[in-house]
Structure 1
Amino acid sequence: MDINKCFDKIHFKSVETDSEALFMKVQQRILQDNISYIKTGVSRFWKYWAVAASVALFASFAMYFISEKKDETIPILEVMAISGSKTKVILPDSTIVWLNSNSTIRYPQKFISMTREVDIVGEVLFDVKRDVHKPFIVKSNGLKIQVLGTKFNVFSDYCSGVIETTLLSGSVSIYKENNDSSKSDLILKPDQQAIYRISDNHIEVKNVHADSYQSWVSGIFIFEENTVEEIMCSLERAFNVKIHLENDKLKQVRLTAQFKERETLDEILSILQISAHYSYTKKKGEIYIK
């Protein structure tokens, strides 16, 4: 049988369909299938990741906070001049400090507060770097000395309970123990010396030749109408030796002399001996003047 003739006799009836409705039905089925694969909520992985990230962020903040707190704790440095020596110290603000034998200074590694505070024991010569925004404060045995920028000498003797502040240039304000007000008890002028006695909380002021109070640093002694007592005190500090004056009248004798060639103590005593008419002897490393 001829197959072509068979197909010619077959007739297919067309199917009536709504193409738009069919498209919408197919699209809805696709959407339903996709939605079935979408889970609501957050997966465990993302939950764990979020918690870990929060912990890490908190830890980082804590580490930063602790680091910042540590940075605020500034180390305190202490320098002491060994017996028989003098030591030069440059502070963080470029202030120059000289320590006499057995003297000590304590100061922060960095001045971060509104003031520059140091503590001392013994004899210290300060050449303070001027800073109008940060006053420089020296504390010693209850006494407070405040300056902006100047040169002065402080001798704090714990044994006698006396603190001497001698001003070479500029000005200094002195506050007694327990004076926490903004008003000082005393303002020194150049060539003045304040003698503070701890026992009675009293300050005495006298005029001096201030240059002679820095001789222990330079080795150059310039005495202008200084008393023998003042001269021997300067020599004691410069040469780290104890000098005993055994005559009260001799203490008040005034002398003028200059020693610029770094003479020895024996040379200086021998020259002064000519004018002051005294004799001296040495016993166990100490000097006795009659």
Structure 2
Amino acid sequence: MKREQILARIIIRVRLEMASNEEREILGEWLDEKAANRRLYKDIIRGKCIARRLRLEDEINQTTDFQKVYEEVSRRLSVHGSRRMPLRRIVVGAAIASCFVGILTIFHPLVKVEVHRTMSLQGDLKEITVEKEKVMLVLGNGERIGLVKHVPDSLKLAQATLIGAKGSLLYEINTDSVPAQEEFHKIMTAVGGDFFVVLSDGTRVWLNSTSELVYPVQFIGDRRVVQLKGEAYFEVKHDSSRPFIVQVRDVETKVLGTAFNISAYEDEESVYTTLLTGKVQVSLRDQKSDIPSMVLKPGMQSCWKKGTGEFSVRKVDTKNVVAWRYGEFVFDEDDIEVVTRMLSRWYDVRFVHDGGMKGRHTFSGKMSKDEKLTSILKMLTLAGGPEFKFENGVVHIIEKR
């Protein structure tokens, strides 16, 4: 068997975490031979030469053609001009699992993430346990209620009755009287927490980790206004007489009835509004601004870059934008800084660079939030990224020599 054929099989087995120590050693020897081999390997596992042959997890079935994937990788290696493999006895299994998917990491079946999770970090990474209240409700009087450990089955307030269940909260309006003014509640999600709430008007909101939503217990007047920090997905209850408005810093999104996602984390440089269905109008809250408002159509995403006052719009894959709702990370040529910030919000760790960055690292792919941090970091390294070392709650990013 030609060297490129053997390497092609090993690369795929490594991606499936099925490779033996001997196979990994062979791949390592080839990578150490010269920089051109390492560049080719990085291009193979991150480029379209594999990805275009594979379908997303929800479309994977027993007909997935491993042979085409293998032939494509082998062809790339052959074009590269690899020498023949030194004579060594290795056994490479011919039967490869048909569920091989993804370009950055292994796709896992969608599993709802438990709020209390233990992460085993192996090797240089030690085991840490994250067990704390991840979702908090703040009432109008300042009282705090944990919505994970102490979620109320039913809590009757002056303006509404709160109906609680695992991971969700529902507001039922008390129709006895109309309040003179709005009383505001706030839901805060911590690192690794997410939550679902049905507001009193029937609007459904999914909050991502490290996010805050401030909203009236009962909407009064001709507008329904909420305030958001972080990220949330909205399915707004239609009411033509009362537009629904989401305020995020200097940006305001106005709708009547639609589904959309807003990402507005404090540590990100832009605010993104993505429309799935219906129609939304995005504008700056500063009434004196001469920046015109923008109307989005389904499948479009607006971007407001903080500090510039400029809006841009592009077409996006909305399934990727809202993948977090289904317990998944999705990266699309994202810088390592973006990737590590996203991981920090879920795994409660801080990333720091040791010695600066050598070049630009970008990643594309999809992974489950139920995956251990250890595995994710290993896959980032395998995808051509730097190495990682855990120490006292901090993950050090170390460039390869």
Partner of 2:328 in structure 1? 220
Matched residue of 1:144: which SS?
strand
Contact kept, 8 Å, 2:191 with 2:346, in 1: the verdict is: no
TM-score, structure 2 as length reference: 0.46
- Which runs of 5 or more structure 1 residues have no equivalent in the other structure? 1-67
For 1:131, the equivalent position in structure 2 comes to: 239
Partner of residue 111, structure 1: 219
Pick the structure with greater CA Rg.
1
Alpha-carbon distance between aligned partners in 2 of 1:233 and 1:226, rounded to the nearest angstrom: 15
Alignment of 1:15-94 (within 5 A): 71-94=179-202
The alignment yields a C-alpha RMSD, in angstroms, of: 3.4
Paired residues in the alignment total: 219
1:188 aligns with 2:296: yes
Distance 1:122 1:258, change over 3 A: closer
Unaligned ranges ≥5, structure 2: 1-175
User: In the alignment, what sits opposite 1:23?
Assistant: none
1:265–1:149: structure 2 CA closer, same or farther, 3 Å change rule? farther
Q: Does the aligned pair in 2 maintain the 1:153–1:165 contact within 8 Å?
A: yes
Change (3 A) 1:228 1:209: farther
Identity rate of aligned residues, in percent?
Answer: 28
1:141 aligns with 2:253: no
> For 1:228 and 1:198, how far apart are their aligned partners in 2?
18
**C-alpha separation in 1, matches of 2:309 and 2:358:** 26
Q: Which amino acid aligns with 2:313?
A: V
Asked whether 1:96 is paired with 2:176, we answer: no
CA distance in 1, matches of 2:319, 2:387: 27
Q: Is the 8 A contact 1:167 1:189 kept in 2?
A: yes
SS of residue matched to 1:217: helix
Q: Distance in 2 between matches of 1:237 and 1:146?
A: 28
**With CA pairs under 8 Å and 6+ residues apart, which has the higher RCO, 1 or 2?**
2
Matches of 1:284 and 1:166, distance apart in 2:
37
Find the counterpart in structure 2 of residue 278 from structure 1. 386
CA distance in 2, matches of 1:200, 1:115: 28
Which structure features the higher share of helix residues? 1
Taking the TM superposition and a 5 Å limit, the aligned residue runs for 1:204-219 are: 204-219=312-327
Is the CA contact (8 Å cut-off) linking 1:123 and 1:156 kept in structure 2?
yes
Q: Is the 8 A contact 2:259 2:275 kept in 1?
A: yes
Superposition map of 1:118-267 within 5 A: 118-158=226-266, 162-179=270-287, 185-223=293-331, 225-229=332-336, 231-243=339-351, 247=357, 249-251=359-361, 253-255=362-364, 257-260=365-368, 262-267=370-375
- For 1:72 and 1:79, locate their aligned partners in 2 and report how far apart those are by CA, in whole Å: 23
Shift, 1:231, TM fit? 4.4
Once residues 341 and 267 of structure 2 are traced to their aligned partners in structure 1, the CA distance between those partners, rounded to angstroms, is 15
Q: Give the 3-state SS of the residue equivalent to 2:375 in structure 1.
A: helix
Structure 1 residue matching 2:187: 3-state secondary structure? strand
Q: Hey, what's the Cα distance between the residues in 1 that align with 2:369 and 2:270?
A: 32
Which residue identity lines up with residue 282 of structure 1 in the other structure?
F
